[in-house]
Chain A
Amino acid sequence: MKAITAFSVKIDVADAVADIREQLSPADATMVLFFASPAYDPDRLAAAMADAFPTSVTFGCTTAGEIVTGRMLTHSVVAMAFTKAAVKSVKVEVLKDLDTQSNEAFASFERHFDTRMSDMDPDRYAGILLIDGLCRKEELIVDRIGDLTNVNFVGGSAGDDLRFAVTHVYANGTSHTHAAVVALMEPAVPFSFLKTQSFAPLPQKLVVTRANEAEREVIEFNHKPAIVAYAEALGVTVEQAAAHFLNNPVGLMFDEEPFVRSPQRVKDGSMIFYCAIKEGMELSLLQSTDIIADTRRTLDAARTASGELSAIVNFNCILRTLELRQKGLTDQYGELFAAVPTVGFSTYGEQFIGHMNQTATMIVFH
């Protein structure tokens, strides 16, 4: 067994961790990755998980819903123990100050693996990034990592059950806010990364002609107030436009694949997004498709390309989860992951190469 999953819906932190520990007890785990509802006290939970798995690296974050083998849950703790047969070695660092560019975490990785970040083989190493979901620093961190190394990092922005008040990341017994947990691992088995979103590009293009990147605000598309250009592209009125945000986000296209940027709200003719958009970017209007069918196709393609899956870590956008909940499809989505040990959560943003929205990013172990 390479990876084992567990979940608990026990309300008390100690009871939930004891429950998780009992289910994962056979595992000689290199690392235990866990995601938890913000209903659990973050400091107590982080400490209890570290105490329960004293020989393992423990890390995770708060969520807006949890995912575990075959199920989508709420108000739970989910965990995956990676045995040495799955992950040979892992090093976890916390970026405590997201406003300051620091190389210390990456220097620590270099010492641990005795290899420069720039020399690390992306087929040998893989990274996981968990970041405060309210910090709006994801682009900065992902861009920084991408500059330093060819190793791929996948991850999600921590959630807080749609309260949008405070999110936490956990590492080795401590919880942090306005911080990121960065884990670099050396898997013992082949692995690959998946990015799936359920949108098809429409022919309409929107070029960002004025933006306030720091505020994730697009002021103008095509030299017009952003919401006017967006509404025109959709063929609806400005008043109707916001009702289309969920089904018609925009995408930065590469090789016919969208990197989805989701509008959040309208502000005086501007559009505020859930991720940053730069001036000059050409975006395609997108049309939603079928999350269940598209995700199944992505998992099947991974099996065909690289062999059977032995574990999955799934970072699934909360907007996808909300759509699944509205359509009564959460059980069907969970079932897509019934045959493979899976852990994950509903995120406030997803990371793979960049930061994006309305996407599921995953690392799969073969």
Chain B
Amino acid sequence: MAGQIKQMIDLIVQQRGEGNKVLEGVVKMKLILKGIDPKNYTETSPDDPEVLGRLLTLMREMK
């Protein structure tokens, strides 16, 4: 499979951003500072388990 990272990033940005463009920008910057730059991931990006694990942890933390 591929593209799961982008899917998770989009979901995190959507959930945390709450439809607010400024908040969405802040969430993206937080991800960049974690070393996960949203612009580097597309629908065809390989599913790096290390990155997926970090995103999953982040999603759990935010609930």
Contacts and interface: CB of A to CB of B under 8 A. Distances in A.
Q: Do A and B bind each other?
A: yes
Interface of A: 118, 122, 139, 143, 146-148, 150, 152, 252, 254-255, 259, 278-282, 353-354
Contacts, number: 45
Given A143-B33, A259-B33, A353 B26 contact: yes
Contact of A118 (B26, B37, B58, B62): B62
A279 B51 CA distance: 13
Contacts of B58: 147
* Interface pairs A-B: 6 shortest CB-CB: A278-B35, A354-B33, A147-B61, A146-B30, A254-B29, A353-B29
A279 B62 contact: no
Contacts of B61: 147-148
Interface string B32-58: 111101000000000000000000001
Contacts of B32: 252, 254, 281
A208 to B, nearest CB: 9
A148 B62 CA distance: 6
Given A150-B26, A255-B25, 16 more contacts: A143-B30, A143-B33, A146-B30, A146-B33, A147-B61, A148-B61, A148-B62, A150-B18, A252-B32, A252-B33, A254-B28, A259-B29, A278-B34, A281-B37, A353-B30, A353-B33
Contacts of A278: 34-35
A139 B30 CA distance: 11
Contact of A122 (B23, B30, B34): B23
A147 B59 CA distance: 9
Nearest to B33: A354
Interface residues of B, number: 17
A207 B18 CA distance: 32
Given A118-B62, A150-B23, A143 B28 contact: no
Contacts of A280: 35, 37
Contacts of A147: 30, 58, 61-62
A282 B36 CA distance: 11
Interface string B4-32: 00000000000010100001011011101
Contacts of A152: 26
Nearest to B40: A280
Contacts of A148: 61-62
B3 to A, nearest CB: 19
Contacts of B26: 150, 152, 353
A143 B34 contact: yes
A244 B33 CA distance: 25
Contacts of A139: 33
A255 B34 CA distance: 17
A150 B16 contact: yes
Nearest to A116: B63
Best-buried of B25, B26, B33, B34 by chain A (most CB within 10 Å):
B33
A322 B33 CA distance: 27
A146 B32 CA distance: 12
A10 B43 CA distance: 63
Best-buried of A143, A146, A259 by chain B (most CB within 10 Å):
A146
Contacts of A143: 30, 33-34
A246 B29 CA distance: 24
